[in-house]
């Protein structure tokens, strides 16, 4: 896909979405939810639901635990868009195509992006059910979503990612979690991207720990890099759904991830709502 075609698809999708929404419902906050965390949308006062498959130029979700819907409405008193269902490289999308959802949000008017994901705990002090605020990420494999001629419409060729995960939002997240009832203490650490769809080998996990990863997952970084390119503020939460490969004497499964994600979805929803209230 050429840069021009990428921009055209984003513009087509954004124009179509905006045409479905009254002006006062155009959001400045976007949320992309990880697998089995769709219950965040249950807390929203929804004014409009759009199916990904109806949006011209958009991508189609292939993952059964992702709804493939975009919700527009009010959450925590803020006009927000929730994308329930995200896209991954392992589904067959190129890294460049994976820029489309966030670019569409940017063209609609979103300035702050909040992402959640399910991740394996690499840091030995983490436990299943912990929520980690992403302080930074490591992406050593795969192309950049900004590969190819630069789409000037969004940002410049070379862009700074030294504070990709907005420090003020991270602080706000810790305060929000502490003010929940019951209070939640968040971890904070580095998200290490792996392409999947296989889980990692125990040797990979040992290497990831040595390299500075605290949690490992197969998503998020293409979205947050795209957001950084488009000068958005970014906040990311990883829900630790399992201890990473080799840390416990048991095989990893998608089922285990889903069970843990569903168990924590209430806390994640309350946390996100509180973050929005405090924004
Ligand atoms: N590895 C990669 N992705 C994941 C994991 C994991 O252990 N758990 C949930 N998503």
Q: In the predicted model, is pLDDT for residue 249 greater than 70? A: yes
| Of 53-57, 137-141, 256-260, minimum mean pLDDT range | 256-260
Q: Which of 65, 138, 200, 214 to mutate to test the pocket of ligand 1 (most atoms within 8 A of CB)?
A: 200
Q: How distant, in Å, are the alpha carbons of 89, 93, 161 from that of 96?
A: 10, 8, 18
CA–centroid distance, residue 118 to ligand 1 (Å): 6
Retrieve residue 72's tokens: 């527009």
Which atom of ligand 1 is nearest to 244's Cα?
A: 7
- Find the domain containing 259 and state its range: 3-278
CA–centroid distance, residue 138 to ligand 1 (Å): 15
| Of 23-32, 162-171, 219-228, 250-259, minimum mean pLDDT range | 250-259
Confidence of residue 130 (pLDDT cuts 50, 70, 90): very high
Q: In the predicted model, is pLDDT for residue 62 greater than 80? A: no
CA–centroid distance, residue 196 to ligand 1 (Å): 9
Average pLDDT over residues 98-111: 98
pLDDT in tens, 211-244: 999 999 999 999 999 999 999 999 999 999 999 9
CA–centroid distance, residue 73 to ligand 1 (Å): 30
Residue whose C-alpha is closest to residue 66's, from 118, 113, 130, 131: 118
Q: In the predicted model, is pLDDT for residue 63 greater than 70? A: no
Which atom of ligand 1 is nearest to 252's Cα?
A: 7
Output the residue whose Cα is nearest ligand 1's atom 3: 217
Please calculate the CA angle 220-17-20 and round it to the nearest 5 degrees: 140
Retrieve residue 180's tokens: 């929940």
Residue 266 pLDDT: 92
231: domain CATH number is 3.40.50.1580
Number of domains composing the chain? 1
Q: How distant, in Å, are the alpha carbons of 16, 63, 118, 142, 195 from that of 90?
A: 28, 10, 15, 11, 6
Q: In the predicted model, is pLDDT for residue 1 greater than 90? A: no
Residue 90 pLDDT: 94
Q: In the predicted model, is pLDDT for residue 64 greater than 70? A: no
Average pLDDT over residues 199-212: 98
Average pLDDT over residues 18-33: 95
Output the residue whose Cα is nearest ligand 1's atom 7: 120
Which atom of ligand 1 is nearest to 218's Cα?
A: 3
Retrieve residue 3's tokens: 């840069």
Residue 66 pLDDT: 63
CA–centroid distance, residue 19 to ligand 1 (Å): 37
pLDDT in tens, 155-167: 999 999 999 999 9
Residue 155 pLDDT: 97
User: pLDDT above 90 covers what percent of the chain?
Assistant: 85
Which atom of ligand 1 is nearest to 245's Cα?
A: 7
Instruction: Show the ligand 1 pocket: residues with CB < 6 angstroms.
Output: 118-120, 194, 199-200, 216-218, 241-242, 244, 252, 257
Q: What's the whole-number average pLDDT of the chain?
A: 95
């Amino acid at each position: 896909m050429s840069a021009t075609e990428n921009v055209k698809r984003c513009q087509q999708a954004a124009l179509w979405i905006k045409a479905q929404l009254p002006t006062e419902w155009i959001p400045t906050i976007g949320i992309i939810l990880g697998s089995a965390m769709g219950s965040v949308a249950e807390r929203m006062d929804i004014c409009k639901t759009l199916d990904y498959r109806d949006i011209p130029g958009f991508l189609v979700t292939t993952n059964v635990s992702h709804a493939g819907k975009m919700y527009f409405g009010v959450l925590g008193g803020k006009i927000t868009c929730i994308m329930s269902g995200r896209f991954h490289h392992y589904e067959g999308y190129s890294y460049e195509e994976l820029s489309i959802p966030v670019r569409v949000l940017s063209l609609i008017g979103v300035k702050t992006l909040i992402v959640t994901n399910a991740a394996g705990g690499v840091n030995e002090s983490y436990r299943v059910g912990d929520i980690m605020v992403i302080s930074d990420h490591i992406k050593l494999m795969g192309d950049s979503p900004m590969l190819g001629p630069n789409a000037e419409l969004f940002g410049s060729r070379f862009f700074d990612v030294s504070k990709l995960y907005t420090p003020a939002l991270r602080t706000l997240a810790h305060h929000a979690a502490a003010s929940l009832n019951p209070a939640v203490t968040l971890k904070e650490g580095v998200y290490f991207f792996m392409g999947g769809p296989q889980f990692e080998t125990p040797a990979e996990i040992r290497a990831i720990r040595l390299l500075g990863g605290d949690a490992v997952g197969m998503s998020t970084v293409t979205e947050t890099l795209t957001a950084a390119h488009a000068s958005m503020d970014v906040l990311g939460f990883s829900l630790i759904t399992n201890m990473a490969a080799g840390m416990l004497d048991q095989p990893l499964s998608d089922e285990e991830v889903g069970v843990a994600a569903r168990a924590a979805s209430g806390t994640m929803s309350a946390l996100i709502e509180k973050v929005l209230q405090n924004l």
